[in-house]
Amino acid sequence: MPKPKASKIKAVLFDLGNVLFYFDFAPAFQRLAKRSDLNVREIEDFFIQSGLEALYDSGKISSIQFYQNVRKALRLQVNYAAFKKIWNGIFKPNLPILRLLKKLQKKHRLVLISNTNSMHIDHLRRHYPHAFSAFQTLIFSYRAKRRKPDKFIYQKAIRACRANPEHIFYIDDRPDLTAAASSLGLETFTYHNNTRALLKQMKALAIL
Angle, CA of 67, 70 and 72, to the nearest 5°: 105
Task: Quote the pTM value.
Answer: 0.94
Q: Note down the domain range covering 68.
A: 26-88
Domain boundary among 88, 103, 123: 88
Same domain, 116 and 16: yes
Same structural domain for residues 126 and 173?
Answer: yes
Q: Which residues contact 201 (CB under 8 A, 6 or more apart)?
A: 189
Residues 75 and 145 grouped into a single domain: no
d(CA 26, CA 106): 37
| pLDDT tens track for 148-170 | 999 999 999 999 999 999 999 99
What percentage of the chain exceeds 90 in pLDDT? Answer: 97
What own/partner pairs with CB < 8 Å and gap ≥ 24 does 182-187 have?
184/151, 184/154, 184/155, 184/158, 186/13, 186/154, 186/158, 187/9
If you write DSSP's letter for every residue of 5-36 in order, what string do you get?
A: PPPS--EEEE--BTTTEEE-SHHHHHHHHTTS
Residues 132 and 200 in one domain: yes
Indicate if 100 and 71 belong to the same structural domain.
no
Alpha helices by DSSP H, listed for 51-127, are 52-57, 63-74, 80-88, 95-104, 118-127
Q: How many domains does the chain have?
A: 2
pLDDT in tens, 121-141: 999 999 999 999 999 999 999
What's residue 2's pLDDT? 54
Q: Of 88, 109, 134, which residue is a domain's last?
A: 88
Q: Once rounded to an integer, what is the mean pLDDT over residues 9-23?
A: 98
CATH code of 50's domain: 1.10.150
- Is residue 55 very low, low, confident or very high in pLDDT (cuts 50, 70, 90)? very high
Query: How long, in residues, is the chain?
Result: 208
Distance (Å, whole) CA 156 – CA 142: 14
